[in-house]
Structure 1
Amino acid sequence: MIFAEDMSPPKNGRGCWTCKERKVACDRQSPRCRACVSSGRICKGYGVRLSWPHKNDRKRAMVAASRTRSDVALLSSSELVNVFSSDIERLSKIYGRTKSRRWAEATAFTDPFLARNPSWTPTTLVDVEADLFSYYHNIVSAVLTSMNDPLMRNLVLRMCFSDGTSAATAIIYSICALASMHRRDCLNAQIYRHKAIKAVSISASQSIVSTMDTLRHLVAMNLMVLFETLASYDSRREWGYNICYVKNTSIARYATDQMHTGDSALVLHWVYYFDVISKFSVKHQMHSPQSSIECAKQFQLTEAAMNSTDDTSIVPTLGCSLEVWHAISTLMHILLNSMDDDEGPPPEALSKVERRLKYAKQVIKVEELDKIQQTLDIAELWRLAGLIYLHRAGYNATTASASLQALTESASAVLTRLYTCERTFPLFIVACEARTDVQRATVLSLIDVTRSFYTPTNITRVHRFIERFWALDDLDVGQETTYSEKLTAVMSTGYALPAFV
């Protein structure tokens, strides 16, 4: 016999969620409790659900106790400096070479030598392809500094296919080497590089070398100069060697007492560009061999380039006018020749260069150039960078100099207007004067955008130099080292000549 009480629905082990929230007794009937049914409420059942404690439920809340602040007042003068131990080691070496050794004596410790990471080299991605030349023409030439000029690109193409001489073949091999390196095909890039150099050597060894073949030699070796800057983030020794070869060949080719026009002028300006850039690198590379120093001191190429009827128009290969470029070249020449002079560069010579830079005019030929405002801003950045470097390396101006601060503010304003800046030399000079977070953020943002548009090797190399200079400048609170000493320390981390293109 079954009794009525045995027919009652089964009960759950705990009350429903509705009764729990109401904090009333639950009859625990399934599937819905009678208390909820009789009161007309929705029974939320007996299943498992996620729940969080109420705000004031201290019994169930797992809240960490609020942190008590230290009574020790923070030092408002304290600043964080983003440096590596190698930066401290580098600054210590500078102090050790100066007459004042107070800092070195006060810090009685020796930093261990830090092994650098191996040089970055692109890995093989694809095999050699038949369209290397087309790839160079459509892709590579547009992103190479000093080559992204239609006149220069057309000149190179014309020289390749005008005849089948060894000099023309050397240019073709150089182009294939650049295209292969840009595609990260290192094996074939090196093969084409050796073929290009061999072709130049064979052509130059002939008993009679035509004027056009000499120009082809210069173009092929200039392409090799660009190749070395792409091959590694760290500069390679061949960069400086190739520039010296090109410079010496140009000195023999270009007379200083006559005017050069047409294709001859285009090649001359291209060689002149690398000549001036390398003077700066030789000046601040502690390990520069004597042969490189003697090569950099030669002034005949500047004299040959001065024979121009138009010094105010912006030259696309240079990024500024010949007037500004001549002044920067003269400044480099003055500083190079006074490296071993205890009295420093002659003030009257520096004043003359300063006047040339200060009142230099730069105009743009609208029919030849695009991106008008960008071109004008880059040219102005060159002029301001020349003045900043003159004040810092020539006059030994400190950061407190009113003239230097005015130049820095003007240059910083130019940087804010630029979308990209592939000219690494003026960018480096101006960026070294950035001391506020806003100024440095502007520089880093510009570098990031530029890296996405142009070959990353060159801009990344200069990015490292900039950050290392900032580190030394932040560490040297008392300004016990000079501007030139810091530049030399930063640019001498390797044994090869630093590349700025």
Structure 2
Amino acid sequence: MKAQSGCWTCKKRKIGCDRTIPNCNNCSRTSRQCLGYGLRLTWPGCRNRHGRGQDALTYEPPSSHTTLKRHHGRQFISFGEMDILASKGHAFGLDLWEKYLVERPQFTLSLHSPIVGQDAILLDYYESVISTMVSTTSARNGFSNEMLPMALSCRDASALALSNAMLAISAYHHLGPESAARYKLDAVSRLSESLSGHDSLTYSHVSDVQLAACLMLAMYSVFDKNDGSWHIHLHGSSGLVQMSAGCQHRTPSTFLLTWLLYYQVLGNFAHPSHISSYDVGAVCIQGSKLEDDYIIGHLGCSVEILEIIHEINGLRSRTSRSADHQSLQPGIESRIWLDGRLQALNQRLHPDENLCTTPAERCRTLITAELYRLATILYLQRVCPMEGDHARRVGYLDQAFYAYAKLESVSSPWPLFVVACESRKDEQRMIILEILDEMDRARSIGNISDMRKAIEMYWKQCDLRVDMDQTRQLEWWRFVDCGITVPWFV
């Protein structure tokens, strides 16, 4: 067997090579070291005295070190940008290393968790199914990354309340309402015990766990449409945030604040009469330590979108109480300002998502966030109408249905509800009904069926009024403030 080209020793000598493997006969006959036939590296710009590129230096382990030879080349240490910046004393690199070395998770999982049997199965179901169902992102999913450590870090009353609330949701979705009942009752009992205790101010993390338990019980009410205690838990969560607002060292986590913001804003959308004088939404927006245009998984959109929906809710409440034309002028100015923000808004993924998710997952997240933006524009147009809205509305609806056609599954109910209420064509309504059927099959959450009933009720009223005065638009948001105990599009 011959090599395809001559050995490097013969090439240096500029003589013919017989290409014998492993060593050529020329080198053997003249007692020279045969440098072999493989590729050799040269460093650009490095020239010897003859003007030719020099060979790269290589390390050959001593032949006597058999262990070193056996493992040579199997392990590597790679250098990255952060290493280079840190070696040069660059502030950015040093900041990264300081953050990497100093930061520690607030909660750690118990090494000897007492959760076994059915509880362990349900906890695994929560992590693998529930937490992925209620978030549009993977890398920064607080329902698994933050809630599980909180629930398992200790076994005090607040942590037990949180873990039982999580188990209740898993049991309801996996086994049915009968299996979930005892977990839900245990969660409420443990939460009441923790709130009535005197150690709430002793540990800085207890208020976070209590707030998480309240919000998790509110989420249970979303799954179980017959529960009826959503507003009770939301009110309790708001109270805890209000209490912590006056304490310098007890600011709730960003994840909990944005979760409460989501419930608060959509709760006010459904029930504007429940808007309190203490604006928890504003507190949550100010307290969330995030850039406004990052897409948050448990929101499905950016914080700025929820902030704008919050503003529209307030605008809707004010305009509904205004009777004279002069008092409507500030509403028109707000409409122009909010519309400009929505047109300029560019929602983006957090860098962690770009590193840890597939292109298909990133595409789904971006499309969902865009649907929130389009639905918010449609909501703003209806709350404060202006001339030319109809033509623009048709264009936004076309964009929304084009986006829905790209999604294999739909996870966010609120944009779908708004788009459905603006749909007038039969083919559009058929698409909406098909999406609702798929959501019901995939998610099995009780609020989907209620949302479908409200949408169909609104469609029927619109069709019955088709010959009436078109200037008297039927306000579709009135169909969500009809005594239902939970906003079923959260």
Is the TM-score greater than 0.5? yes
Contact 2:339 2:377 in 1 (8 A): yes
Alignment pair present for 1:274 and 2:263: yes
Contact 1:323 1:361 in 2 (8 A): no
Contact 1:388 1:404 in 2 (8 A): yes
Partner of 1:243: 234
Which structure carries more relative contact order (alpha carbon 8 Å, separation 6+)? 1
The residue aligned with 1:324 is 305
| Offset from partner CA, 1:27-72 (integer Å, 9 cap, x none) | xxxxxxxxxxxxxxxxxxxxxxxxxxxxxxxxxxxxxxxxxxxxxx
Q: 1:432 aligned to 2:432?
A: no
* 1:200 counterpart = 2:191: yes
Residue of structure 2 equivalent to 1:358: 343
1:383 corresponds to 2:373: yes
Q: 2:453 and 2:238 mapped to 1: Cα distance?
A: 28
Please show how residues 53-68 of structure 1 align to structure 2 within 5 Å: none
Cα gap change, 1:312/1:147 in structure 2, threshold over 3 Å: closer, same or farther? closer
1:447 is matched with: 436
Secondary structure of the 2:321 match is: coil
Q: Higher Cα Rg: structure 1 or 2?
A: 1
Q: Secondary structure at the match of 2:263?
A: helix
Which region of structure 1 is more displaced relative to structure 2, 139-148 or 388-397? 139-148
Match of 1:310 among 291, 297, 301: 291
CA RMSD of aligned residues (A): 2.9
Which piece of structure 1 moves more, 468-477 or 206-215?
206-215
- Residue identity over aligned pairs, in percent, reads 23
In structure 2, stretches of 5+ residues that fail to align are 1-116
Letter in 2 for 1:280: F
Paired with 2:465 and 2:307, the residues of 1 have a C-alpha distance of 34
Q: TM-score, normalised by structure 2?
A: 0.67
- From the superposition, tell whether residues 248 and 414 of structure 1 become closer, same or farther in structure 2 (CA, over 3 Å): same
Alpha-carbon shift at residue 147 of structure 1 (Å): 9.4
Give yes or no for contact 1:170–1:199 (8 Å, CA) kept in 2: yes
Quote the residue 1:218 is aligned against.
Answer: 211
Q: 1:500 to 1:348 in 2, by over 3 A?
A: same
- What is the letter of the counterpart of residue 321 of structure 2? D
For the Cα contact (< 8 Å) 2:458–2:476, is it kept in 1?
yes
Q: Distance in 1 between matches of 2:262 and 2:144?
A: 16
Instruction: Measure the CA separation in 2 of the matches of 1:243 and 1:146.
Output: 22
The answer as to whether partners of 2:261 and 2:284 remain within 8 angstroms in 1 is: no
> Which residue of 2 is the match for residue 477 of structure 1?
466
Measure the CA separation in 2 of the matches of 1:493 and 1:133.
35
Match of 2:279 among 267, 285, 299: 299
Rate the CA distance shift 1:194–1:487 in 2: closer, same or farther, 3 A.
Answer: same
1:321–1:379 contact (8 Å) kept in structure 2: yes
Return the alpha-carbon distance in structure 1 between the equivalents of residues 409 and 157 of structure 2. Answer: 38
Aligned to 1:86: none
Q: 1:379, CA displacement in angstroms?
A: 0.4
* 1:337 positional shift: 4.0
Judged with a 3 Å threshold, the aligned counterparts in structure 2 of structure 1 residues 166 and 444 are, in CA distance, closer, same or farther, namely: same
Conserved? CA contact 1:146–1:270, under 8 Å: no
160 and 300 in structure 1: CA distance in 2 versus 1, 3 angstrom threshold? closer
Alignment match, 1:409: 398
Q: Which amino acid aligns with 2:342?
A: L
Distance across 1 between alignment mates of 2:436 and 2:477: 19
Measured against aligned partners, the alpha-carbon deviations of 1:354-403 in whole angstroms (never above 9, x if no partner) come to 211121111113125551111111000001100100001222779x7222
Task: Tell me which of 321, 329, 332 is aligned to 1:340.
Answer: 321
**Partners of 2:292 and 2:303 within 8 A in 1:** yes
CA distance in 2, matches of 1:459, 1:367: 33
Deviation at 1:145, TM superposition (A): 5.2
Q: Provide the residue aligned with 2:129 in structure 1.
A: 139
Q: 1:309 to 1:453 in 2, by over 3 A?
A: closer
Partner Cα distance (1:454, 1:192) in 2: 21
Residues in 1 aligned to 2:236 and 2:356: alpha-carbon distance in whole angstroms: 31
Cα distance in 1 for residues equivalent to 2:280 and 2:296: 20
CA contact (8 A) 2:447 2:489 kept: yes
Q: Deviations over 1:159-187 (max 9, x none)?
A: 01111211101011111211221134423
Find 1:229's aligned residue among 202, 222, 225: 222
Q: Distance in 2 between matches of 1:450 and 1:471?
A: 22
- Matching residue of 1:73: none
Deviates more, 1:155-164 or 1:476-485: 476-485
Q: 1:224 to 1:230 in 2, by over 3 A?
A: same
Residue 467 (str. 1) matches residue 456 (str. 2): yes
SS of match in other structure, 1:421? coil
State the alpha-carbon separation in 1 of the partners of residues 447 and 124 from structure 2.
23
Code of the residue aligned with 1:425 in structure 2: it is: W
Structure 1 unmatched ranges of 5 or more: 1-126
Q: 1:147 to 1:238 in 2, by over 3 A?
A: farther
Using the TM superposition, give the Cα deviation of residue 155 of structure 1 relative to its aligned residue in structure 2, in angstroms: 0.8
Q: Aligned equivalents of 1:368 and 1:333: distance in 2?
A: 38
The residue identity in structure 2 corresponding to 1:142 is T
The alpha-carbon deviation at position 237 of structure 1 amounts to 3.2
**1:178 aligns to 2:160 (yes or no):** no
SS at match of 2:408: coil
Answer whether contact 1:299 1:333 (CA < 8 A) is retained: no
Query: How far apart are 1:437 and its partner, in Å?
Result: 2.1
Question: What is the Cα deviation at residue 494 of structure 1?
Answer: 4.5
Q: Map Cα deviations across residues 181-202 of structure 1 (whole Å, 9 max, x no partner).
A: 1134423422221221121121
Give the aligned residue type for 2:298.
T
Contact 1:251 1:301 in 2 (8 A): no
Whether the 8 Å CA contact 2:270–2:481 is kept in 1: the answer is: no
